[in-house]
Structure 1
Amino acid sequence: MKIEALLFGGVAVFFAGTAALYGAWSGEPAGTAALIVAFGMAGVISFFCAVQYRRRGRRPQDRADAEVADAAGPLEFFPPHSPWPVVTALGFAVAALGVVYGLWLFLIGVGVLAWGVLGMVFQYATRED
């Protein structure tokens, strides 16, 4: 994950420099805001990759002397079935319709969306490994 952290860090630095130059020379706020958001997104991914590298160290894919068997085994726990992605998608769809039809529908959609996201996050919170 170290290479990925450096790669996305470089992308973040590029967008930061581009945003600074674009904001100074053009004076146009929408493009500057878009470049700042792009900088933030690349920075978040770079930070995540750096934290994962510090926690877990080098992966077998990062080592030249690694063999295929080094990366074998279970990766993570993936739930077999869950109703929460459907609830989340429904909440997003209702919120998107609420942008068109009115604030009341948007607020209902945001509530359903929050319920679905919280359901996915805490579905297996008490699961023991």
Structure 2
Amino acid sequence: MKSEAWIFGAVAIFLVLVTPAYWFVTAASEHGGDWTGTSALVMCTLLALMCTVYIGFHAKRMDPRPEDREDGEIAEGAGELGFFPPFSWWPLWSAITMAFSVLGIAMAAWWLLIVSGVVGFIALAGWNFEYYRGNFKH
């Protein structure tokens, strides 16, 4: 886990150096600066710092994984890696619902927003409860 913290730390340091340089270069242009790009770089810097602190904090508190140790063997990492869900149609319906909701707001078609809200509620409920019914129930 420490290697991941170092990677995010290197990205954070890079962004700390690049963000003011980007702001300075765009401020010298005839348009007076690019605030959109500068604010995006600032937010990316803060995100990289947040990941660095979080992963570094937890890396100190947990036992080293086999891939983090010098004497770690491949066989030590064998076993179940976790639960990976099978295919699901509910994320597609949720994305379609979100697209129609945004379209309803953009076109001021409030009826479309209401219809997509109802369909979105059904899609969200189906996504939450997909392991309680059908072939994949537990």
TM surpasses 0.5: yes
Contact kept? 1:8, 1:45, Cα under 8 Å:
yes
User: Computing the radius of gyration over CA atoms, which structure comes out larger, 1 or 2?
Assistant: 2
Q: Percent identity?
A: 35
Question: For 1:2 and 1:107, how far apart are their aligned partners in 2?
Answer: 48
Matched, 1:78 2:66: no
Question: For 1:32 and 1:110, how far apart are their aligned partners in 2?
Answer: 35
User: Structure 1 counterpart of 2:18, which letter?
Assistant: T
SS of match in other structure, 1:58 = coil
Residue-by-residue CA offset, 1:89-129 (whole Å, 9 max, x unaligned):
2234334544654474568768838x739x55x878xxxxx
Question: For 2:69 and 2:98, how far apart are their aligned partners in 1?
Answer: 41
Equivalenced residues, count: 121
Matched, 1:94 2:100: yes
1:61 alignment partner, one of 45, 67, 73: 67
Matched, 1:5 2:28: no
Runs of 4+ in 1 over 6 A off after TM superposition: none
Contact kept? 1:91, 1:116, Cα under 8 Å:
no
Shift of 1:48: 4.2
> What pairs up with 1:114-129 in 2 under 5 angstroms?
116=124, 119-120=127-128
RMSD between aligned residues? 3.6
Shift of 1:12: 1.4
User: Structure 1 counterpart of 2:78, which letter?
Assistant: A
Residue-by-residue CA offset, 1:52-91 (whole Å, 9 max, x unaligned):
4245332211222111111011112233455542333223
- The equivalent of 1:127 in structure 2 is none
User: Structure 1 counterpart of 2:96, which letter?
Assistant: L
Question: For 1:50 and 1:64, how far apart are their aligned partners in 2?
Answer: 19
Question: When the two structures are superposed, what TM-score results if normalisation uses the length of structure 1?
Answer: 0.63
Shift of 1:5: 1.0
Contact kept? 1:60, 1:66, Cα under 8 Å:
yes
Matched, 1:15 2:15: yes
Structure 2: gaps of 5 or more residues:
28-32, 132-138
User: Structure 2 counterpart of 1:116, which letter?
Assistant: L
Structure 1: gaps of 5 or more residues:
125-129
